[in-house]
Homo-oligomer: A and B are copies of this chain.
Amino acid sequence: MTWKLAQSTELDNPNLLLSESLLTLGNGYLGVRGNFEEGYDGQFKSIRGTYINAFHDETEIKYGERLHGFPLTQQKMLNVIDSQTVEVYIGDERFSLFEGEVLSFERNLHMDRGFAERIIRWRSPQGRETRLHFRRLVSFTVKELFAIDIRVEPLNHSEQVVFFSTVNGDVSNYVDVNDPRLASGHAKRLNVTDIRYEHGLSLVRDTTMITNLEVACATATAVKAGSYIHAQHTKHYAVEETYECAGGEPVTFTKFNVYTDTLRHGNGLVESGIAIQDLQRDTKFDELLAAQRDYLDHFWSISDVEIDGDTELQEGIRFSLYQLLQSVGKDPYSNISAKGLSGEGYEGHYFWDTEIYMLPAFLMTQPDIAKNLLLHRYAILDNARMRARVMGHDKGALFPWRTITGPESSAYFPAGTAQYHISADIAYSYIQYYLVTQDEEFLRKEMAEVLFETARFWIEVGHMKDGKFHIDSVTGPDEYTCIVNNNYYTNVMAKHNLEWAGKVYRLLEEEHSGRLAELVKKIGLDSKEPGEWEEAATHMFLPYDEILKINAQDDSFLQKKRWDLENTPKEKFPLLLHYHPLTLYRYQVLKQADTVLAHFLLEDEESLETIRNSFDYYEDLTTHDSSLSYCVYGIMASRLGYRDKAYRYFKETARLDLDNIHGNTKDGLHMASMGGTWLSIVSGFGGLRVKDSGLSLNPWLPENWDGLGFRVRYQDRLIKVRVESERVIYTLIEGEDLPITHHGRDFVLVSGRETIIQWNGQEDEALIR
């Protein structure tokens, strides 16, 4: 059950906009929002969107006062050629859910089968009753393909059925009419540069205004009908096709749209599109569906998480995993943008969301996908080096806070560029990848270089003072406190970065001196530097308050006034929309988990007492105005045994978009929260941690659940974990025997066997069978 997301069929505008995001289809390359093929009522707003991951233009960033190093331009993922549009006429009446009478209407996303559908019984204004079944998919196996299938069945008439299909190159990005950016060219970034009907294909090619990237759509249409007349018409910006089908019988229209772009297909993108169409020429829509199912069967066989006894949350986690799969870039040109391919929020940029919130779900289930995300960061390492130079540093690499292909695209540096922790976050994800996969070749080839360059950057930024290594003037994850000294999160993550850079250097020195020599030469590494990294790591200053016995968020955080959250009126949230940043910066108040997140990622740096005190302290000051917050508090609540809290935070996380909790899901899905949902389960309820010392778990089951199941890949093993109220069953499905730690005790999982650990009073007891 709950493989099907049955979506709201209310025809009011807020629900339709919400459904557009929720019913997005995608495959990491291509994403299509859940718009109606025939459109809405004329008055309704729609964000009609088709996106290609990383396909972007550049727009100017304006500043009232522009200072040195402020980026001049911002990348922006574009809404590309529209191939969704199909109008249907029954006799002389145009089908519209906003006219006549909707006798029944169902709308589903099939997460196990990889398609979305609308099933409609409609009575036209003139009384003609018709059943319409719209199905659509974005193929997981042919990444360029978006297919639509429309079956029209007359119920009480034999009117002619006309399909009027368009492929339109005259598209714009969505800009609210009240948005001042409308005027500054943020909407229209694509020009149609070629338009043809050839080889039975509608061919449309667009070019971006600044980056000169090209996108093409090659569309093949067909009908299954008794008899029909086909016509096509090429306009300046669009190719239109009509099929007039004789009435009386059910008729079916299919539209196969193949998207190609210069980033992946080079200058021959139109030819590539045609070639892909040729390969698909005899494929039926049902065959595509079968391929989707195969792909997803494999995906879910590893990635599925089962929550027994809570349908809503079961839906939440499956929806999250499905959308993660749909959003994640699977080539080194792309990553996962903050809204996936479901909307234009955050301009399609990639943030730390990838490394800290989304990557773990892939890393532990589909490590090849995870690796691609790391390779994307490696591909932009040169940009990160250049950015460090612009900021005034002679060495090292500073990754951009937000970007698509590498250049820093953040326009407000205190909550953007200043988040230097992104470099340590990326380093952390490399280290986690290595710990999970033990991919030695990756370590030598990409990981060493990334760790060395980020470590060097910390040396540039920080300095020794009174025997401790300090990092000043940065912003941590909490954007309600910007530009501070010794942000705990940043410092501890930098420490980890520096330690591992040293460790990898020593390892290469011993075992791969040839590769090391190559790398030393490439990046001009001085032999003294690794010693500096180790020293900085050893002496890293980690702020701790002796009285509160917590880690201070930064040097000055605990000196500030406490924000009175209890007496802040509801309508003043999120605070950043109602208070000047300076005012927010002046208070102890958090947008999102900061120190608490550090305690999740690097729990061995502090005692459990400090971690608990810190959680208790910061929780009272956190607004969760960021969608990145609930899951972290939930995971740490699990860690600390705050079970009710853990469950409540999980609920907020798991259905953030499904219940439109932040009210802005229409602009796109909160992908980090989707990743956070998986983390909440596996690292929260499952208590899973990956460390140099191995794999550990601390599972427990929320009271009102009957059971929880998930699988993880780890060092060539596949482990199934089943948590019940009084026992946990580990099954080592693939791979050799593996020692793990369960609630602090060591066990060895035996290949092909179940290990059942029973709670009986004081102690756990293991049974292997």
A interface with B by C-beta (< 8 Å): 60-70, 74, 180, 184, 390-393, 410-414, 416-418, 461, 463, 465, 470, 472-474, 482-483, 485, 555-556, 559-561, 576-583, 585-586
Contacts and interface: CB of A to CB of B under 8 A. Distances in A.
Contacts of A578: 68, 392
Given A184-B62, A561-B463, A583 B391 contact: yes
Which 8 A-B pairs give the minimum distances between C-beta atoms?
A64-B411, A62-B62, A69-B580, A65-B412, A473-B586, A61-B64, A392-B583, A463-B561
B561 A68 contact: no
A69 B579 contact: yes
A585 B577 CA distance: 26
Nearest to A471: B586
Given A483-B482, A579-B392, A580-B69, A586 B64 contact: no
Contact of A586 (B62, B411, B472): B472
Nearest to A415: B65
User: By CB atoms of chain B within 10 A, which of A66, A184, A561, A576 has the most?
Assistant: A561
A391 B472 contact: no
Contacts of A65: 410-412, 416
Contacts of A416: 65
Nearest to A59: B64
Contacts of A70: 580
Contacts of A577: 68
21 contacts: A62-B180, A63-B64, A63-B411, A64-B410, A64-B411, A65-B412, A68-B576, A68-B577, A68-B579, A69-B580, A392-B578, A392-B579, A418-B582, A461-B586, A463-B560, A470-B559, A472-B586, A473-B560, A473-B583, A483-B483, A555-B559
A65 B560 CA distance: 26
A561 B469 CA distance: 11
A473 B585 contact: yes
A555 B580 CA distance: 22
Nearest to A588: B472
Nearest to A409: B64
Contacts of A412: 63-65, 67
Given A62-B62, A473-B586, A556 B555 contact: yes
Contacts of A470: 559
A67 B473 CA distance: 21
Nearest to A74: B64
Contacts of A414: 414, 483
B63 A580 contact: no
A249 to B, nearest CB: 56
Contact of A417 (B60, B560, B582): B582
A60 B66 CA distance: 15
Contacts of A474: 582
Given A62-B184, A583-B391, A560 B472 contact: yes
A391 B579 CA distance: 6
Contacts of A485: 556, 559-560
Contacts of A560: 463, 472-473, 485
B473 A582 contact: yes
Nearest to A572: B392
A67 B472 contact: no
A180 to B, nearest CB: 7
A398 to B, nearest CB: 10
Contacts of A586: 461, 472-473
A390 B583 CA distance: 10
B582 A391 contact: yes
B561 A67 contact: no
A60 B183 CA distance: 13
A717 to B, nearest CB: 44
A277 B473 CA distance: 60
Contacts of A556: 472, 485, 555-556
A490 to B, nearest CB: 13
Contacts of A391: 579-580, 582-583
Contacts of A579: 68-69, 391-392
Nearest to A71: B64
Given A472-B559, A556-B555, A582 B68 contact: no
Contacts of A461: 586
Contact of A62 (B63, B393, B465): B63
Nearest to A391: B580
A568 to B, nearest CB: 11
Contacts of A465: 559
